[in-house]
């Protein structure tokens, strides 16, 4: 009897020790992880790009990733991305790729941390604040610095930088998506949309066309459903005519200057500046715009920035070329650019984002002017691509902040007017929080809308309205047309 009691006691002791030493496997989904100041409390499914110690990061309940995707092994071309899972139920929400333009400007510096991402660079450039109107409330948001030479993106082959243009940018972005899916295989079959603004008015349709054409191969299929474009460069001739007419109609230039341009400038020419009267009159437009903010006619320019005040003319820097239509750099300033530059050049920030080891730092800038001036090829118009994508049944929405002088609402109306699409829902106001947010019209295959009182980078001016509009776009619903 004593032996039985002894054996039972030993067995009990063994079981108790096993119980005390047992650590259950964590089976929580990664999307239930919580972060405070970027420090991971719980995580699973980390692919190496998970951001865990981002300085100054507010607490969030979603995961975000940043790092490089190689797009050309031979030349060592790698594009930098920052990806934010949707705040809630990311598995049920689409993937949206956001592109900024320039060409040469950063989608991380503009889109992600000035406009629509969850973390906005704070005014001292040393921290972040949470964006209550972040678009990752409605979608999984992927921001890409493209092409190489923009932001943290780079190439190990110097001649790559001499070949940058629309075609290379589209092909590298296409390669990026397929290689990014290798890192994030659960997104491989998700519904995808591509969005962007300014010179991304060229990038987005060009990438969408590439996806559409190559989707004929089932192994390369990407479930692209639509594109969303804000104040987009679309057709060079119409963009310039709209810029000039808008400047005149908003009293930026005189009747005389406007009349000289109307009679002497042929914007359909490959070199409109051959006419000296035209060239001088357009110079006058830029001279007047340099007195204010061309991207937002009725707000102040940034006086706080020494760098900006020394190079104020970059707001309207223009490339002249006999081979292609002249262009103007497209980004958005006032002082936010300087805060972003301070933040992204901090060693601990670069290390947290896997952009560098924190010692051998990358020299990050929000726009690379050399890319802008050396741009090798630019399609004079993407209207033929619009026609192709409309025929393919893609959802196409275009919006314009109506106080932007850089790619004004008139430029977009002139460009879209050349499509001559039948109207399916006539011009009417759309509403947000019981006020007129702008106007919109629906055509067969395309929706065009304005944002009342917004400049070039619409979400900077109308964050709440923009999020509501984005939600309507994703849901395939008209912007709210009743209060």
pLDDT tens per residue, range 216-267: 999 999 999 999 999 999 999 999 999 999 999 999 999 999 999 999 999 9
For the entire predicted model, the pTM comes to: 0.87
Among candidate residues 64, 146, 404, 432, the one labeled active-site is: 404
Number of neighbours of residue 25 by Cβ within 10 angstroms: 5
Mean pLDDT computed over 352-374: 92
Cis? peptide before 390, omega within 30° of 0: no
Based on the residue annotation, tell me whether 198 is a catalytic residue of this protein: yes
Tell me what pLDDT residue 293 has. 87
Catalytic annotation, pick one of 153, 166, 456, 466 = 456
- What is the mean pLDDT of the segment spanning 406-418? 97
For residues 361 and 347, what is the distance between their CA atoms, to the nearest angstrom?
7
In angstroms, what CA-CA distances link 356 with 154, 344, 352, 362, 434? Answer: 12, 11, 8, 7, 47
pLDDT of residue 345: 95
Q: Which residues contact 110 (CB under 8 A, 6 or more apart)?
A: 100, 331, 332, 366, 457
Is residue 36 over pLDDT 60? Answer: no
Residue from 33, 153, 155, 198 carrying the catalytic annotation? 198
Nearest to 154 by CA among 146, 142, 162: 146
Whether pLDDT at 332 is above 60: no
Among 179-193, 261-275, 297-311, the range scoring the smallest mean pLDDT is 297-311
Q: What is the pLDDT of residues 457-469, one digit of tens each?
A: 999 999 999 999 9
403, pLDDT greater than 80 = yes
Beta bridge partners, 467, equal none
Q: Is it the case that residue 305 has pLDDT exceeding 50?
A: no
Q: Are strands 446-451 and 395-401 parallel, antiparallel or unpaired?
A: parallel
- Percent of the chain past pLDDT 90, that is, above it, reads 75
CA distance 423 to 260: 34
* CA distance linking residue 205 with residue 397, whole number of Å: 12
- Residue 136 pLDDT greater than 70, yes or no: yes
Identify the pLDDT of residue 47. Answer: 77
Residue 334 has pLDDT above 70, yes or no: no
| Cα 186 to Cα 179, 214, 477, distances in angstroms | 13, 21, 27
For the domain spanning 64-234+376-475, the CATH number is 3.40.50.1820
Measured CA to CA, the distance from residue 478 to residue 426 in angstroms comes to 12
Assign 137 a pLDDT band (cuts: 50, 70, 90).
very high
What are 112-122's pLDDT values in tens digits?
A: 999 999 999 98
E-only strand ranges, 59-125: 64-72, 77-84, 95-99, 119-121
- The pLDDT assigned to 323 comes to 42
Query: Cα separation of 188 and 182, whole Å?
Result: 8
CB of 437 within 8 A of CB of 430? yes
CA 331, CA 198: separation in Å to the nearest integer?
7
Closest CA to 128 of 52, 61, 37, 62: 37
Higher pLDDT among residues 432 and 37, named by residue: 432
> Does residue 407 surpass a pLDDT of 50?
yes
Dist CA 289 CA 431 (whole Å): 31
pLDDT cut 70: percent of the chain above it: 83
Q: What is the mean pLDDT of residues 135-142?
A: 98
* Residue of higher predicted confidence among 126 and 477: 477
pLDDT greater at residue 481 or residue 37? 481
pLDDT surpasses 80 at 383:
yes
Beta carbons within 10 angstroms of residue 387's beta carbon: 14
CB-based burial label for 161 (10 Å; 0-12, 13-18, 19+): middle
The chain-wide mean pLDDT, for the chain, equals 86
Residues found in the chain? 483
The residues spanned by each domain of the chain are: 64-234+376-475
Least confident of 73-77, 106-110, 247-251, 271-275: 271-275
User: In this predicted structure, which of 12-21, 99-108, 276-285 has the lowest mean pLDDT?
Assistant: 12-21
ω into 147 cis (within 30 of 0):
yes
Cα separation of 135 and 281, whole Å?
41
Spatial contact of 169 and 376, defined as CB atoms under 8 Å apart: no
Q: Is the pLDDT of residue 328 over 60?
A: no
Residue of 342 and 257 predicted with greater confidence: 257
């Amino acid at each position: 009897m004593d032996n039985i009691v002894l054996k039972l006691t030993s067995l009990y002791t063994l079981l108790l020790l096993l119980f005390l030493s047992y650590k259950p496997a964590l089976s929580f989904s990664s999307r239930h992880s919580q972060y405070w100041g970027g420090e991971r409390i719980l995580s699973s499914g980390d692919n190496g790009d998970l951001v865990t110690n981002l300085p100054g990061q507010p607490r969030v309940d979603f995961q975000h990733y940043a790092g490089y995707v190689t797009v050309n092994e031979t030349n060592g071309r790698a594009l930098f991305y920052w990806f934010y899972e949707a705040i809630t139920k990311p598995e049920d929400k689409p993937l949206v790729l956001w592109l900024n333009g320039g060409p040469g400007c950063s989608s991380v510096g503009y889109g992600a941390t000035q406009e629509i991402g969850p973390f906005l660079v704070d005014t001292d450039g040393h921290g972040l604040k949470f964006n209550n109107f972040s678009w990752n409330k409605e979608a999984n948001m992927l921001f890409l610095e493209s092409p190489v030479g923009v932001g943290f993106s780079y190439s190990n082959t110097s001649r790559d930088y001499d070949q940058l243009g629309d075609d290379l940018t589209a092909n590298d972005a296409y390669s990026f998506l397929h290689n990014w899916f290798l890192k994030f295989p659960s997104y491989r079959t998700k519904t995808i949309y591509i969005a962007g603004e300014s010179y991304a008015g060229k990038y987005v349709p060009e990438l969408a066309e590439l996806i559409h054409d190559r989707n004929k191969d089932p192994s390369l299929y990407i479930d692209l459903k639509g594109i969303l474009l804000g104040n987009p460069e679309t057709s060079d001739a119409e963009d310039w005519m709209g810029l000039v007419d808008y400047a005149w109609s908003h009293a930026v230039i005189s009747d005389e200057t406007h009349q000289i341009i109307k009679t002497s400038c042929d914007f359909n020419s490959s070199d409109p500046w051959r006419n000296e009267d035209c060239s001088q009159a357009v110079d006058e437009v830029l001279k007047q715009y340099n007195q204010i903010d061309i991207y937002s006619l009725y707000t102040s320019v940034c006086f706080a920035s020494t760098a900006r005040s020394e190079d104020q003319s970059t707001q309207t820097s223009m490339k002249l070329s006999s081979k292609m239509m002249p262009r103007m750099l497209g980004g958005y300033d006032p002082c936010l650019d300087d805060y972003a530059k301070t933040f992204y050049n901090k060693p601990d920030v670069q290390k947290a984002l896997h952009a560098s080891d924190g010692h051998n730092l990358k020299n990050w800038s929000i726009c690379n002017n050399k890319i802008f001036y050396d741009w090798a090829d630019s399609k004079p118009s993407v209207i033929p691509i619009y026609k192709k994508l409309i025929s393919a049944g893609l959802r196409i929405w275009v919006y314009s902040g109506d106080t932007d002088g850089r790619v004004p609402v008139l430029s977009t109306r002139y460009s879209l007017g050349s499509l001559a699409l039948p109207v399916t829902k006539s011009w009417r106001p759309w509403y947000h929080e019981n006020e007129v947010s702008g106007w919109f019209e629906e055509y067969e295959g395309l929706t065009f809308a304005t944002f009342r009182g917004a400049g070039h980078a619409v979400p900077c001016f109308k964050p709440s309205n923009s999020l509501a509009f984005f939600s309507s776009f994703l849901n395939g619903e008209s912007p709210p047309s009743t209060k």
